Amino acid sequence: MIPEIDLSPLFGSAATDRAAVDQAILKAAYETGFMTITGTPHPETVGRDACDSILRLFDMPKDQQRSLWKKNFAPENPNLYRGWFPLESDTPLSREGFELGPDLVRELPGDHNNDLLYEPSVFPPLDMFPNWRDDTAAYYRTMEEVGYAILASLSRAMGIDESMFRESFRDGISTLRLLHYPGRDAGYDEAVLEAPELEKYFMSWNDERYEVVCGAHVDSGLVTILAQCDSGGLQVKAQDVGWVDVPVTPGGFVVNFGGLLARWTGGRVRATKHRVLSQGAERFSIPFFFEPRPNTVIAPLPLNGIDPFEPFEFGDHLWATTTKFPENYGLGHLRPARAPYRDPFLKPQGASAVE
């Protein structure tokens, strides 16, 4: 159901060796919107030891975490977009996370016009987590390399110029997110299970009781590269089949294509709903959201038969979308659209929506 693709031919191989991988990625993008990948470069920077080093952040004492919280949750802090969203950001207290931007690996561009999407990241004290920043930066760089390779491969397979995507990601604002889903030490507390206001967060599936720690959704962006950190629970809604488990591939990653890439390609690329279920075990994951420059204009690609749509800037779409999430809720007014913007998924009356 979910293809596993070895990407190693994309890194340094001859064009003839890449052709089969290009077609496999195209097939996954068009048919399922999901794939698992192996053969990524620099395995020492993204392997389990590297992930464990990066995830040490969640060992930070609770009373010291607050200095990294987003302003939504700690009004005394200046950071709005980057930083820590605590358990308090989520009604059932099921997850917390930390988000970093490109200044982890390079200086932010000087001409970003005070765009909130270029907000500097915040970092934990260096003496608290030795080598943490170096390890996290190495991981980020490798994810960028993988993201470029996937989009270049997809470009070749679709017959468009590889430079089209690559240029869009110059001075991009890709987000590295660290996620922690705390365990329920003794299974689910009955008081939690029976609380009416929390009922929607629990479900029965395959005769088992699960907590929905991440509800069904389609990623809003282009490409997400996820390290599952040996934790199961991720599911994809497959056509004509229903929900299926995404396998945990040792040393591998899960890749899914977002709603914006589906829109950009006129619906050729599929954006697929997915969710995360938990039976109570502690869970960690590291998604990398590969994102272009905020002022990248999203306009119909040069593909035969693509339906026209009104161009818009990526940053306007990202801000309109991300400020609907709990960790950024209520911030929408702080960054007015920089260009004419209309939700690209609102189709004219009588037209079919992008699936």
pLDDT in tens, 130-142: 999 999 999 999 9
pTM of the model: 0.92
Within 8 A by CB and 6+ apart from 205, the residues are 243, 277
pLDDT higher than 80, residue 286: yes
Tell me the percentage of the chain whose pLDDT exceeds 90.
Answer: 67
How far apart, in whole angstroms, are the C-alpha atoms of residue 83 and residue 81? 7
pLDDT tens profile 290-348: 999 999 999 989 888 888 889 999 999 999 999 998 889 889 999 999 999 988 877 65
State the chain's mean pLDDT as an integer: 89
Tokens of 317: 């779409």
The residue ranking higher by pLDDT, 171 or 183, is: 171
pLDDT higher than 70, residue 3: yes
Q: Which of the 8 DSSP states describes residue 187?
A: B
The residue ranking higher by pLDDT, 305 or 160, is: 160
List strand residue ranges (DSSP E) for the chain, in order.
4-6, 34-38, 83-85, 96-100, 175-181, 202-205, 208-217, 223-227, 234-238, 242-245, 253-257, 274-278, 283-290, 297-298, 312-313
Map out the domains of the chain with their CATH numbers.
Answer: 4-186+217-334 (2.60.120.330)
pLDDT higher than 70, residue 22: yes
